[in-house]
Amino acid sequence: MIDIKFLRENPDVVKENIKKKFQDSKLPLVDEVIELDREYRANKSEADNLRASRNKISKQIGALMAQGKKDEAEQAKKTVAEQAQQLAACEAKETELSEQIKKIMMIIPNIIDESVPVGKDDSENVEVQKYGEPVTPDFEIPYHTDIMERFCGIDLESARRVAGNGFYYLMGDIARLHSAVISYARDFMIDRGFTYVVPPFMIRADVVTGVMSFAEMEAMMYKIEGEDLYLIGTSEHSMIGKFIDQMIPEEQLPLTLTSYSPCFRKEKGAHGIEERGVYRIHQFEKQEMVVVCKPEESKMWFDKLWQNTVDLFRSLDIPVRTLECCSGDLADLKVKSIDVEAWSPRQQKYFEVGSCSNLGDAQARRLSIRVKGKDSKYLAHTLNNTVVAPPRMLIAFLENNLNADGSVNIPVALRPYMGGMEKMLPKN
């Protein structure tokens, strides 16, 4: 959420930013909120004057009574009563205007970084760099669920009977591989100085609206019926929510955290054939990284975060590339974002396995996450990035480590988490 003072002083900048995000329907909101803000400040000034006048007259009443000026005192009381009514009306209007302003400000997109390429959607995202040589084997690579079935490692049909489409049972070596990847990612981040956290898997509405836009909330979140609770779509939600209404001593920054959680997502809409199986699902597990830092350090941490994901995938022999998200592909709270994509030998292309985002002070402003510095108080910056999210990550792992005989190599880094296993051998 943008600072109202910034919007008031730089309406043209805010409008240009809206145009860069191809959200022209929101342009009238800028003038609307400026008018509401003007009305709010005028109303607040009137209320402040009424409070000052009421307090002054209230002090005079006692003196008038002491002087025996009963009639003047009664008239003063009448004036105080009238001003109290006027003040109550002003305060009610102030609350109403404040809510209207907040509602609009929550919709206006955050100011993107000047380095973000301008583009309408993800088709115009820009490749930054490739890591590792994409390999095309001389044998046919089956679809990922077919590979898993060779290991008796997946049961989609039973999951449909139990929970419907978008769920799965993982079993045997595939289930073990899933857990091994999560455990390895956890230790990988701990070794890089991050504190391991297991957060709540449900959060309240005020946290939801603090960490994401209304559009994202509607598309992603599952609401618990009859409760002020939502299932998290990623642990970033409850991790950032941990600091709601907090004043963090500056000397404690940066806060570098890595969190494990299940994730629950609606995943609305129709999807292509390449997104069947366990590519796009309603429930999965994820290792996340979150940073709360000083504003001047957020760019440095942004580069560190996406590099962590690249390094982890390369340690598992998976080629990846980084992709700069264009303006039209950025969620409204994001300042800048880079996707990490893994190579799919079967599809002969890269696909997304993680996303790194710098949200500036947008989440901190919504959630009132402040920092107490030596000479001043200010809003923190927040960042997040996927360490690893199986089972999508398993697709890349299985395809890139598959052998012609159907076995799957276990990279050296992962072997301690697989009981020393060097290869997974198919059952079928």
* Exposed/middle/buried for residue 132 (C-beta within 10 Å: 0-12, 13-18, 19+): middle
Question: Residue 271's pLDDT is what?
Answer: 53
Q: What pLDDT band is residue 230 in, cutting at 50, 70 and 90?
A: very high
pLDDT tens per residue across span 18-44: 999 999 999 999 999 999 999 999 999
Q: Domain 122-424 belongs to what architecture?
A: 2-Layer Sandwich (3.30)
> 3-state class of 353 per DSSP?
strand
Instruction: Indicate the average pLDDT of the chain.
Output: 93
The pLDDT tens digits for 346-369 are 999 999 999 999 999 999 999 999
Is-contact 414 312, C-beta < 8 A?
no
Q: What is the pLDDT of residues 111-168, one digit of tens each?
A: 999 999 999 999 999 999 999 999 889 999 999 999 999 999 999 999 999 999 889 9
Cβ distance 323 to 341 under 8 Å?
A: yes
pLDDT of residue 70: 76
Query: Mean pLDDT, to the nearest integer, of 279-306?
Result: 96
- Residue 30 CB contacts under 8 Å (≥ 6 apart), including other chains: 7, 11, 14, 15, 18, 108
Task: Give mean pLDDT, residues 296-320.
Answer: 97
Instruction: Give 274's pLDDT tier (boundaries 50, 70, 90).
Output: low
Predicted confidence at residue 71, as pLDDT, reads 78
Averaged pLDDT for residues 306-315: 97
At 351 the three-state DSSP class reads strand
Cα 406 to Cα 102, 412, 423, distances in angstroms: 57, 19, 10
User: When comparing pLDDT for 393 and 72, which is higher?
Assistant: 393
Range in 55-69, 222-236, 278-292 with the lowest mean pLDDT: 55-69
CB within 8 Å of 235: residues ≥ 6 apart: 197, 199, 259, 260, 261, 263, 286, 288, 290
Q: Where are the alpha helices (DSSP H) in 368-411?
A: 392-400
What are the domain boundaries of the chain?
4-105, 122-424
Q: Which of 27-31, 67-71, 79-83 has the lowest mean pLDDT?
A: 67-71
Angle in degrees, 0-180, between the axes of helices 11-20 and 27-66, rounded to the nearest 10: 140
**Which tokens belong to 38?**
């003007």
Contact by Cβ (8 Å): 379, 371: yes
Superfamily of segment(s) 4-105: Serine-tRNA synthetase, tRNA binding domain (1.10.287.40)
Work out the percent of the chain whose per-residue pLDDT is above 70. 98
In the predicted structure, residue 333 carries a pLDDT above the cut 50: yes
∠ CA 123-128-134, nearest 5°, is: 90
What's the rounded Cα separation, in Å, for the pair 424 and 2? Answer: 51
Average confidence (pLDDT) over 191-206: 97
- In whole angstroms, what is the distance from residue 269 CA to residue 241 CA? 28
What does the block give as tokens for 84?
A: 């109290």
pLDDT band for 61, please (50, 70, 90 cuts).
confident
With bands split at pLDDT 50, 70 and 90, how would you rate the model's confidence at 54?
confident
Class of residue 121 by CB neighbours under 10 A (exposed 0-12, middle 13-18, buried 19+): exposed
Q: Is the Cα torsion angle 199, 389, 314, 116 positive or negative in sign? A: negative
Please report which confidence band the pLDDT of residue 268 belongs to, taking 50, 70 and 90 as the band edges: low
pLDDT, one tens digit per residue, over 388-413 is: 999 889 999 999 999 999 999 999 99
Specify the pTM.
Answer: 0.89
Amino acid identity for residue 276 in this structure: R
Contact 328, 119 (CB under 8 A): yes
Inform me whether the pLDDT recorded for 170 exceeds 60.
yes
What pLDDT does residue 269 have?
A: 53
